[in-house]
């Protein structure tokens, strides 16, 4: 039996976003959910999240297999714990309408966001829409 993982996505992996194709065969567990963190606009048409304790970041929750997780790692520039990763992969609580789930998510280190613009709404899709 294939091992599965929960993954929270908040940017270009969400439905109707350019990298969602990587999740086409994944099982969507929640289209509307959130976790604690701060969302930033990188200026490169994708966001970055820093884990936090007060603000919310909105996204979607998926169940993926090992191959799908490897493809997500590749996209997010995650090579493993302790490596020089673009994004780190952490486990954090995700809040859904049916309860809480522990899930992987890809986050920036706080040092990387010092010059980035915060997305106050915590929602990448709303942010993109408001800029159009």
Question: Mind telling me the catalytic residues?
Answer: 76
| Residue the block writes with tokens 């952490």 | 90
Listed in sequence order, the residues at least 6 apart from 67 whose beta carbon sits closer than 8 Å to its beta carbon are: none
63 Cβ contact partners less than 8 Å away, ≥ 6 residues apart: 4, 5, 6, 7, 26, 27, 29
Give the count of alpha carbons within 13 A of 46, CB side only: 17
| H/E stretch holding 27 | strand 27-41
Determine the Cα–Cα distance for residues 19 and 28; give it in Å rounded to an integer. Answer: 15
Of the candidates 13, 39, 38, the residue with the CA atom closest to the CA atom of residue 26: 13
């Amino acid at each position: 039996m294939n091992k599965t993982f929960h993954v929270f996505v908040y940017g270009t992996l969400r439905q109707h976003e350019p990298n969602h194709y990587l999740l086409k065969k994944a099982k969507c567990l929640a289209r509307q959910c959130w976790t604690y963190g701060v969302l930033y606009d990188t200026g490169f048409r994708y966001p970055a999240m820093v884990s936090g304790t007060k603000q919310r970041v909105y996204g979607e929750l998926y169940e993926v297999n090992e191959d799908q997780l490897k493809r997500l790692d590749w996209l997010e520039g995650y090579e493993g714990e302790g490596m020089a990763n673009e994004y780190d992969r952490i486990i954090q609580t995700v809040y859904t309408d049916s309860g809480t789930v522990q899930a992987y998510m890809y986050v920036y280190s706080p040092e990387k966001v010092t010059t980035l613009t915060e997305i106050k709404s915590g929602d990448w899709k709303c942010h993109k829409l408001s800029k159009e």
